[in-house]
Chains A and B, each alone.
Chain A
Amino acid sequence: MRRAVDVVTILQFGVNGLFVATGYALVALGLTLIFGVLHVADFAQGALYMLGAYVSFYATQAGGVGYFAAVALAMATGAVLAALNGGVVYLPLQRHGGSLTFVAALGVLLILQNAALWWFGGDFRLVPSPFGDGKFSAGGVVLTHHQAFVLGATGCLVLLLWAGLRYTKPGKALRAMAQQPEAARLVGIDIQRVGLLAFAVAGGLAGGAGALMAPVRAFDPHIGAVVILKSFAIVIFGGMGSVPGAIVGAAVVALAETFTAAYLAAEFADLVAFGLMIVALFARPQGLLGRLPT
């Protein structure tokens, strides 16, 4: 490239990549949580991201709700729907084996996507950001106020999740289920309840991510399928069931994509995520930070 060592451009690429990573991280976290606890690859999380975006749209545009309240509402919607879906579809099916839940998850994603198409129409939507067009600019490196807010909010949610898993009793139960399901049952953990909790937390994160991104990423009912595929690749790359793996995976994949597009060509950017996933499957089947089953 003409100005390969232009520092401002490189920094801008880095900022872009970091922002892309936040978009992946929250959904990937939910996926990995559900997978770790229940061994369900919950593709429907993509639909909850999409619904989160629509909740924030209708709450702010038609409901007169403020944007920040709308994000909370989107999280609550995601949590409730995910728990409902988990309780009605996945948990009963799981007794029949894992492949059934996989098919069901895809089915739920498609049903919600097409339902959204009928209810909301196929128009692209964008939620106005409460920060307007405000942006930070340091020597040409640009970060909008909304992007900064999304980065901060994602950081807080990740921290909250980490603390919740580490210090609260339900959080410990989730970890116990993921690490040693039989022992978890034997100490008296109710797998149905903890399973529903995992769905709810993941759904909340996905719904929140949808609402956070709604002002910076035009969406239609298909955005969920787009989001979930990439997140799934990230979870496999980072380690199925590993929380740090999802975060590190999101960052690595997003930055790799960004710099591939920056210094090679955009058409290879998508290959990177899935390429990393395949390399991980061969070189380290448990993923970057995952454990082999004990």
Chain B
Amino acid sequence: MRWRSLAWVVCGVAVAVAGLRLPAAGGPGVETVTVGFALPLTGAAAREGQESLEGAQLAVRLLNEAGGFRVGGRTVRFEVVSEDDRCTPAGGTEAANRLVARRVAFVGGSFCSSAALAQQPIFAQARIPQVIYAYATDLTGVARQRAGADLSVRIGPQAAVEMAPLAKYAVTVNNHRRFFAMAQNTDFGRSMVGEFRRVLERLGGRFVAEPEFYTFPGTTDFRTILTKARGSGADALLAIGLVGEMIGVSLQFRELGLGLGFYGSDLLEDPAYQDAVGERANGFFYPWVYDDGVDPRRFTRTEPERMAREMSLAFLNNLKKRATRNHAWGWGTIHLLKQAMEREGTTDPERVMRRVLSGERFDLPLGRYGFLPCGQADMRVGVGSYVDGRRTLMVDRDFAGRPPVVLTSADLCPR
């Protein structure tokens, strides 16, 4: 009896795998480029991974519905495949090996630093270009060099890009200098806290206690850490986590009636955060990375963010929902590759990536920027805050580069 059910399971899996492997339809003179996504589709960061994938799928759907795009006289269409890396190193390795076996031309992901670090040498070995979303500094530093991953780029910010302007804003605008820091105990949490501290101390501020790193995933009650912050003599709190943690920290911060300044991760700009916390986030600050032109701002826009607007409208029109920063990863990967292919006139992965790394600027959902030789996007983020329950952009992307300068392109690549 048990053998028979096992046989059914094996048959089911075989059929499912066969289904996944059916070749995508392509007409004569049409070239199909397969982009594989290694993302956390289950596990603690499943939502982030699913949204990244959704961004890529919508971008591809719209491009293909429009008949594809022209590259050197040929029509090119994209095809998206995905593997779940569960946000773990082991899952990252498995997902990477499966994508290599599926002979994808390019890879997007991972969202998770630990998974991306595991994937980088595998894709480097296979000479498959990797467009990374995770924030850990090493992905465009030591780890990239050691893996020989010269075809990999990080399409978004790294920790310093986000934390430098936030720390500068805290000290120079809000005059918050005495900080209590808490973060998830991961590469992400630790690198963010470290970069914030670096700039804070350079500008004369300090941490009043050693940062608290809580278990991730698993921590949902932050009251003890917050109670500790209340009695620490700090005048502001830095809290770094994903959206669920930021919601929990924010609500419990209000419950306990902490009279401190509040600085969070970029997940404060997530619609789910806004829905859950709303007015209670008034006066909280965060690094904003994504500007679709809808949020009110306290500065005149220096450069319209065309691709952010395009993505935002595409999501509203096609999926009836607001686009998030996570959607930008997948959407941005597809459009970065498309623009580089169009300019280079080929879909050859090595040549496309050389174009990406040439320093030329591309229109991406997080702004218009190019890439540094170490693979890091040469981009900046601003500082946002909640005013009357609405996200409000306080300073623009140039804030960190204005005197006192706290971030330069040289800071983003290791020497």
Q: Do chains A and B touch in the complex (CB under 8 A)?
A: yes
Q: A residues within 8 Å of B by Cβ? A: 1-3, 6, 9, 12-13, 16-17, 19-20, 23, 113-114, 117, 121-126, 133, 135, 137, 142, 144, 147, 216-223, 226, 229-230, 257-258, 261-262, 265-267, 269-270
Q: Tell me if B172 counts as interface (CB < 8 A to partner A).
A: no
Please, how many angstroms separate the alpha-carbon atoms of A250 and B218 in the complex?
16
- CB–CB A221/B185 < 8 A: no
Question: Which of the residues B210, B218, B228, B280 comes within 8 Å of A262, measured between beta carbons?
Answer: B228
Known: A9-B231, A13-B227, A216-B251. A222 touches B46 (CB 8 A): yes
Contact A265–B212 (Cβ < 8 Å): yes
1/0 per residue, CB under 8 A from A, across B29-62: the answer is: 0000000000000111011101100000000000
The answer, among B44, B210, B213, B254, for a CB contact under 8 Å with A222, is B44
Contact B247 A126 (CB under 8 A): yes
Residue on B nearest A17 in the bound complex, by CB: B224
Provide the residues of chain A in CB contact with B230, threshold 8 Å.
9, 12
B221 touches A226 (CB 8 A): no
Neighbouring A residues of B213 by C-beta, 8 Å: 265-267
Contact present for B42 and A117 (CB under 8 Å)? yes
**Min CB gap B5→A, angstroms:** 12
- 27 intermolecular pairs with C-beta atoms under 8 Å apart: A16-B227, A23-B221, A113-B42, A117-B46, A117-B50, A121-B50, A122-B46, A122-B47, A123-B272, A124-B273, A126-B251, A137-B257, A142-B257, A218-B248, A220-B46, A222-B43, A222-B44, A222-B46, A261-B214, A266-B213, A266-B214, A266-B215, A266-B224, A267-B213, A267-B214, A269-B215, A270-B219
Question: Which residues of A sit under 8 angstroms from B48, Cβ to Cβ?
Answer: 122
The answer to the question of B64 belonging to the interface, with a C-beta cut-off of 8 Å to chain A, is: no
Bound CA–CA A262/B209 (angstroms): 12
| A16 B221 Cβ-Cβ under 8 A | yes
Q: Give CA–CA (A293, B243) in the complex, Å.
A: 45
Q: Interface residues, chain B, CB within 8 Å of chain A?
A: 42-44, 46-48, 50-51, 182, 185, 210, 212-215, 217-221, 223-225, 227-228, 230-233, 243-244, 247-248, 251, 254-257, 272-273, 276, 280
Query: Beyond A23-B220, A126-B251, A216-B251: 6 further Cβ-contacts under 8 Å?
Result: A2-B233, A9-B227, A113-B42, A218-B248, A262-B227, A266-B225
A288 to B45, CA, bound (A): 36
User: Do residues A218 and B227 form an inter-chain contact, with CB atoms below 8 A?
Assistant: no
The smallest beta-carbon distance between A106 and chain B, in angstroms, is 14
Complex CA distance for A13 and B214, rounded to whole angstroms:
16
**Interchain nearest-CB distance for A256 vs B (Å):** 12
Q: Which residue of the partner chain A has the closest CB to B2? A: A96
**Bound CA–CA A233/B237 (angstroms):** 32
Kindly report which residue of chain A lies nearest to residue B44, judged by CB atoms: A222
Task: Give the docked Cα–Cα distance between A147 and B273 (Å).
Answer: 21
Closest 9 CB pairs of A and B: A122-B47, A218-B247, A270-B215, A266-B212, A16-B223, A126-B276, A266-B214, A124-B244, A261-B224
Q: Is the CB of B42 within 8 A of A114?
A: yes
A133 touches B254 (CB 8 A): yes
Q: What separation, in Å, do the CA atoms of A268 and B43 have in the docked complex?
A: 23
B220 close to A222 (CB less than 8 A): no
- Closest B residue to A118 by CB, please name it: B50
Which residue of chain A is the closest to B227 with respect to CB atoms?
A12
Point out the residue from A144, A257, A267 that lies within 8 Å of B255, measured CB to CB. Answer: A144
Q: Known contacts A222-B43, A270-B218; decide if A16 and B224 are in contact (CB<8 Å).
A: yes
Which partner residue on chain A sits nearest B221 by CB separation?
A20
Q: How near does chain B come to A160, taking the closest CB pair, in angstroms?
A: 25
Measured CA separation A6–B134 after assembly (Å): 41
Identify the closest chain A residue to B273 (Cβ). Answer: A124
B276 contacts A125, C-beta separation under 8 Å: yes
Residues of A within 8 A of B223 (CB): 12, 16, 19
B252 nearest in chain A by CB position: A216
Docked pose: A9 CA to B233 CA in angstroms = 13
**Residues in B neighbouring A137, C-beta threshold 8 A:** 257
The 8 Å CB contact of A124, one of B210, B212, B219, B243, is B243
Task: Decide: A229 near B224, CB < 8 A? Known: A124-B272, A266-B182.
Answer: no
Q: How far is the CA of A3 from the CA of B42 in the complex (A)?
A: 43
The residue on B at minimum CB distance from A262 is: B224
Q: With the chains together, A12 CA to B223 CA distance in Å?
A: 9
**Cα(A221)–Cα(B46), bound, Å:** 9
Best-buried of A20, A123, A221 by chain B (most CB within 10 Å): A123
A123, B230: Cα distance in complex, Å = 30
Which residues of B are found within 8 Å of A257, using beta-carbon distances? 224
In the complex, A123→B50 CA distance in Å?
Answer: 10
